[in-house]
Amino acid sequence: MTDNKTENVENGQKQEEGGPPKLDPKTEAYLQELLKEKHILSTSAYPHASRLMQEEVQRTQQTGRMTKDTRYADVYRERPIKVTVKVSVPIKEHPKFNFVGKLLGPKGNSLKRLQEETMCKMSILGRGSMKDKVKEEELRKSLDPKFSHLSDDLHIEISALAPPAEAHARIAYALAEIRKFLIPDSNDDISMEQLREMENYLEPGGGGPDGEPPQKRPLLRPVRGGFRGDFWISYALVLNIVHAR
């Protein structure tokens, strides 16, 4: 199950790829009010209102502004858009499997490589995303907007900032790759590769705390550059990868 969000990047608005936008004081106050009202609703018998409130909180956090009219993708000018997808982790179906560990890999290298290869920002969020459970519970109750995701189910947030066609192509590729990490198998190729990488760190001269991990064969990824022919070739290959699965 995925939850998709697509936002335009306004002219003159600077934002790092995948990074949360800065909130102006008015928007920050609006977000605080939303979180307080959401907390009240979550403890009452209004589940649908609570869900709608959470969606508004997420929109405000992702865009950095209060809700306005619907925005359109400008494919003519290839104006960059930020596409965000939330992917659920099947923790309820497989409660004993360590999905967070598999997603991160040794020293977080698996997730870092996934982000580099897909050119997407990925974050593990929701309940169970923090190693310190006591700290997680404290932050969940703090009503700090930065940690509101801790009230949600465990999920992965994937985002791409690029011209419309390329942004969606990156997301499609990222979804195909992330699915491999959501299969609860401790003996598959990914787990075996992570085990070899960990052994490499433990061996004398095999990397150490600041050493480089073993190099992984680069994967096919969408190219930068809008509507060039080579982009569409890569995009078609991405679609083939997705459909093959």
Predicted confidence pLDDT, tens digits, the chain (245 residues): 555 555 555 443 444 444 566 777 888 888 788 777 777 776 666 777 777 777 777 777 766 666 665 678 899 999 999 999 999 999 999 999 999 999 999 999 999 999 999 999 999 999 989 888 899 888 888 877 778 888 889 999 999 999 999 999 999 999 999 999 999 999 999 999 999 998 888 877 655 544 555 555 444 444 444 444 444 445 445 444 444 44
- Both tokens of 188, joined, read 């598959």
- Taken in order 63, 155, 197, 222, the sign of the CA dihedral is negative
Q: For residue 64, give its domain range.
A: 2-244
pTM of the predicted model over 0.95: no
* Residue 147, domain CATH: 3.30.1370.10
Give the angle subtended at the CA of 51 by the CAs of 50 and 55, to the nearest 5°: 115
Give the angle subtended at the CA of 238 by the CAs of 235 and 243, to the nearest 5°: 130
CA 132 to chain centre: 21
Q: Is 92 helix (H, G, I), strand (E, B) or coil?
A: coil
Q: Is 60 helix (H, G, I), strand (E, B) or coil?
A: helix
CA dist., res. 49 & res. 100, Å (int): 30
In the chain, which residue ranges form alpha helices assigned H by DSSP? 25-42, 47-63, 99-104, 109-118, 133-141, 164-180, 189-202, 229-244
Total structural domains within the chain? 1
For helices 164-180 and 109-118, the axis angle rounded to 10 degrees is 150
Which amino acid makes up residue 91? I
